[in-house]
Structure 1
Amino acid sequence: MHVTQTIKRATLLAGIAGVLMLNGCGNKQSGATPPPAPPVVGVVIIKPQRVELTTELAGRTAAYLVAEVRPQVNGIVQKRLFTEGSDVKAGQVLYQIDPSTYRAAHASARASLSRAEATLVSARLKAKRYGELVKINAVSQQDHDDAYAALKQAEADVESSKAAVESARINLAYTRVTAPISGRIGRSLITTGALMTANQATALATIQQLSPVYVDITQTSAELLRLKHALASGQMKGGGQGGTKVKLLLEDGSTYPHEGVLKFSDVTVDQSTGSVTLRSVFANPKQLLLPGMYVRAVIQEGVNENAILAPQKGVTRNSAGNPTALVVGANNKVESRLLTVSRTIGDSWLVNEGLKAGDRLIVEGTQKAKPGSSVKPVAYTPRTGAATATAAAH
């Protein structure tokens, strides 16, 4: 009886001890640290898009037409007949040279012509008479030939006199120095009373046509080759039949209101700079653009129908200076990509290699994402005051 009670008591104590051990184990398991949740990163899904590619280059404006006014006869300037800095028309008289000697020369030439014409009348009548007399042997054949030769010489003298009259008339007209083109004339380099000589080296004034106006742009030969290869491979499309469009940024940073057209590129590369000159034409109705102004030209190179753009904040540089990016791959694992980029477009890089359509590029939380680790991607939305992010489809 006593032994039975002892066994029961031992069994009860063992059961209590077992319950206490189980409770202790349960408390130990409930106190264990759970595994950390994967970090949240903001991603942008890469999508091909149509992009117009432009290049900004330095340029200088140049007049569409330039003409230097020079005298073509000698003489003293009697009058200046224009206002410096004004607009002149082609054919407008700018200077008047003393015409006295040229007027006299013209009158003398006309008198010589009249004398030659009178001699021609006499020679023609004589040749006609001798032509009739030689038929009846009233004059010798030699006299007839001499009369005919005199007629021809008189005709030549008339033609020579006419040429002399025309030359004298031209020289007289040259005493009125006219504008060869329409445009804006600069300052006069001579004054009334100055002596001018024909075809002198110093111009009297310079006229420039300012509407339209040229803009000469320089582009490196390497960039020109890259553009041609991109167009030939079909990666880009040209600007169309209307020609390549060009926009201007003025020295004060403002945009010129009129759009220009690229007309041609030079066929020679400058050996000192390795660049090629491109010439564009712009309307200049208000003559805002003056020759020699420094401008920035934005040239439309072409269109990339399937451009891959990566936000700049999602692209970093490795120790070698090459662009890299982190993308979320299969099973939400982080992958590192080495990129090849060509230029910036707005706040994005134009990616040639390294990313494809559908890639999930990490643009926020890159410091928490390590290659090979798991992350929780959410669609990135630019912050406007407070952070905004919505869950992205896995």
Structure 2
Amino acid sequence: MNISRPKRLAVITLVLVCGASFWGYSLRSSPAAEKPAASAPLVTLVAAQTKDLPLTLSTQGHLVSLNQVDVRAQITSSVAQVAFHEGDFVKKGQLLFVLDDAEQQAALHHAVAQLAVMKAQRDKAVSDLNRGKSLVKQNYISSSDWDTLVSASQQYAAQYLSAQDDIRTAQAQLAYTRIVAPVSGKTGALNVHPGSLAQPTSTLPLVSINQFDPIGAEFTLPEQNLNAVIVAQQHQPVKVWVNDANGKRIAGTLNFIDNSVSTTSGTVSFKATFTNASNLLWPGLYQNITVDAGTTPGAVVLPPQAVQDGPDGHFVYVIDKQNHAATMPVTLLRIQQQMAVVEGVSAGMQVVSEGARMLRPGMPVTVATQHAGQAL
């Protein structure tokens, strides 16, 4: 029987399709074609350790002048001399300004003259009183005349004392014409020059002086650090560290803790003082500040990479008896000396150190090495 050409092609096509389907099914069902199961992640464990660690607190703050003085005139007078250059470092008691003193000199001379007049009147009244004593005993003068002598003596004595006070006042006014530095420090910009009128009521000072040595620092710390600082201060002065203009660490001493915690920010304000004889610390400068707040005994430490950060806070991975990963929440207190100081893990507990970022809770793992005594 002859088969037409179109029918022959259809039969061949059907045979090829069936053969291909059978071959594909054979490959899928073959054990060699089965995909191998994924291997469990490889992790390394480390034991939490306890150490006595120095408690070092880091924060930021500003250097501040412990004493800033606005130098002002006490009298109204023109500036006769400026005895320094703006920006100079000056010593306490150093002459800064000389004001015109013509009026004050005249007032002093007048007060001296008045004192001489009052002295003469007082001396005459005392002499009259002494003569009157003998006369009154002999009844040569009346009681009323004696009372007049006594009153005159008292009056001129009082006027003499008042004249002495006038001299002291005039001397004080004259002293105001020479203005000296009330503190040692660095002067700011000059607001007057020779010929300017200096007035006590002026809104601008003649010049401002910032004390540089010693100098202070102001900073804040979170309220959870307050107790540690208080305890440390009870044992010895708490050291505070900043960097000078050369980048050298300079130690100061904590000398002020505010009397309350800010309910808005949850922080406490602190102040420290530093010697600054070389003037390498500058008021107003922003500084990274370190506080040595004693020692934390028995702090639990882990490698920093063992502590993970999740949406609910920090945690570590531990491995159960079935070699499955599980999470344990911890509190990360700080990173110090390449160690993470934590709470929530007991000493000796094994946690995942390497490979933790590949894990998910409940995932099976392969433990590579257990470093029970590994040094951190």
Same fold (TM over 0.5): yes
Partner of residue 25, structure 1: none
Structure 2: distance between partners of 1:391 and 1:163: 86
Instruction: Write the letter of the residue equivalent to 1:323.
Output: H
Instruction: Write the letter of the residue equivalent to 1:316.
Output: Q
Q: Secondary structure at the match of 1:378?
A: strand
Partner of residue 243, structure 1: 237
Instruction: Write the letter of the residue equivalent to 2:331.
Output: T
Q: Secondary structure at the match of 1:48?
A: strand
Deviation at 1:105, TM superposition (A): 0.8
CA contact (8 A) 2:325 2:359 kept: no
The structure 2 residue matched to 1:321, chosen from 308, 312, 323, is 312
Structure 1: distance between partners of 2:65 and 2:229: 32
Are 2:343 and 1:352 aligned? yes
Structure 1: distance between partners of 2:373 and 2:257: 52
Partner of residue 361, structure 1: 351
The structure 2 residue matched to 1:134, chosen from 133, 136, 146, is 136
Are 2:276 and 1:278 aligned? no
Partner of residue 254, structure 2: 262
Moved more, 272-281 or 256-265: 272-281
Structure 1: distance between partners of 2:153 and 2:93: 42
Q: Secondary structure at the match of 2:191?
A: coil
| CA deviation map 1:244-266 (0-9, x unaligned) | 2111257x9x7542111111122
Deviation at 1:106, TM superposition (A): 0.3
Deviation at 1:299, TM superposition (A): 1.8
The CA RMSD measured in Å over matched residues stands at: 3.0
Instruction: Write the letter of the residue equivalent to 2:225.
Output: L
1:1-394 alignment to 2 at 5 Å?
41-219=43-221, 223-224=222-223, 226-228=224-226, 238-239=232-233, 241-249=235-243, 255-267=247-259, 275-318=267-310, 320-328=311-319, 336-353=327-344, 355-366=345-356, 367=358, 371=362, 375-376=366-367, 378-379=369-370
Instruction: Write the letter of the residue equivalent to 1:296.
Output: N
Deviation at 1:201, TM superposition (A): 2.7
Deviation at 1:88, TM superposition (A): 1.4
Q: Secondary structure at the match of 1:211?
A: coil
Structure 1: distance between partners of 2:354 and 2:78: 81
Deviation at 1:275, TM superposition (A): 4.1
Deviation at 1:304, TM superposition (A): 1.2
| CA deviation map 1:322-343 (0-9, x unaligned) | 3232335669776542323333
Structure 2: distance between partners of 1:368 and 1:103: 91
Instruction: Write the letter of the residue equivalent to 1:44.
Output: V
Structure 1: distance between partners of 2:330 and 2:207: 59
Instruction: Write the letter of the residue equivalent to 1:264.
Output: F
- CA gap 1:297/1:229 in 2 versus in 1, 3 angstroms: closer
- CA gap 1:264/1:347 in 2 versus in 1, 3 angstroms: same
Instruction: Write the letter of the residue equivalent to 1:57.
Output: T
Q: Secondary structure at the match of 2:140?
A: coil
CA contact (8 A) 1:51 1:303 kept: yes
- Percent of aligned pairs with the same amino acid: 26
| CA deviation map 1:136-155 (0-9, x unaligned) | 11100111111011101111
CA contact (8 A) 2:49 2:302 kept: no
- CA gap 1:270/1:203 in 2 versus in 1, 3 angstroms: farther
Q: Secondary structure at the match of 2:232?
A: coil
Instruction: Write the letter of the residue equivalent to 2:232.
Output: G
- CA gap 1:230/1:59 in 2 versus in 1, 3 angstroms: closer
- CA gap 1:130/1:261 in 2 versus in 1, 3 angstroms: same
Deviation at 1:81, TM superposition (A): 0.9
Structure 1: distance between partners of 2:360 and 2:70: 70
- CA gap 1:134/1:341 in 2 versus in 1, 3 angstroms: same
Q: Secondary structure at the match of 2:67?
A: strand
CA contact (8 A) 2:229 2:293 kept: no
Return the TM-score normalized by structure 2. 0.80
Moved more, 182-191 or 193-202: 193-202
Partner of residue 19, structure 1: none
Structure 1 residues without counterparts, runs of 5 or longer: 1-35, 381-389
Return the TM-score normalized by structure 1. 0.76
